[in-house]
Chains A and B, each alone.
Chain A
Amino acid sequence: GDSVTQMEGPVTLSEEAFLTINCTYTATGYPSLFWYVQYPGEGLQLLLKATKADDKGSNKGFEATYRKETTSFHLEKGSVQVSDSAVYFCALRSLNTGFQKLVFGTGTRLLVSP
């Protein structure tokens, strides 16, 4: 079945460092891809999305490019802040599932220190 693999965390960075969180997927067809963020004690929030190959999703300084050839959707940010500390989830929605269900990765915790 469809699946998402994320790098294990935690990822620990100093403020203003460059961030990459890797995400690869396995799916039939051409899935839509998402990044969600979960701040402590809260539910998940949609961060960005991409619906077709070579699309770049972006929001709040975060970016991710849909790479069909490498089945990847890595999350990047040029300069992280302490307020970016959260858990980040990569997810996919496949058109072949017959119903819109999101499949999530296991999440990657990001810790940013001042």
Chain B
Amino acid sequence: DAGITQSPRHKVTETGTPVTLRCHQTENHRYMYWYRQDPGHGLRLIHYSYGVKDTDKGEVSDGYSVSRSKTEDFLLTLESATSSQTSVYFCAISELQGDYGYTFGSGTRLTVV
């Protein structure tokens, strides 16, 4: 969707290598989220951010780290990629802690071989 972009869209990487996924927004929304989508599990929250340099863990944060040095960018890093991290990764943004729902990016398909 316009307003939120993820890069890269597809990536294949080798086990043990670090990988960084980028989420960029032009909406100036305060809140940003990283989810992973896997068959049978739906979407699971990895990390989220409630402001510049303010981040916290979600339910499946092991093996992942995040950084947010600017409002518009939220980076997800796999410190040492494993095959279990093969997944589709979605970034989402929201304006307020209200009932506005989330806006999602188009996703990054990551394959770890």
Interface residues of A toward B: which range?
20 to 34
- Given A99-B50, A100-B94, A101-B58, verify A46-B42 contact (CB < 8 Å): no
| B97 interface neighbour in A41, A89, A100, A107, Cβ under 8 Å | A100
| A102 interface neighbour in B40, B56, B96, B102, Cβ under 8 Å | B102
| B105 interface neighbour in A43, A46, A93, Cβ under 8 Å | A43
Interface residues of A, Cβ cutoff 8 Å to B: 32, 34, 36, 41-46, 49, 51, 89, 93, 99-102, 104-107
Residues of A within 8 A of B48 (CB): 99, 101
Interface residues of B toward A: which range?
20 to 34
User: Does residue B104 face the partner (Cβ distance < 8 Å to A)?
Assistant: yes
| A64 and B41 alpha carbons, distance in the complex (Å) | 23
Chain A residue at minimum C-beta to C-beta distance from B4: A43
Residues of A within 8 A of B40 (CB): 106
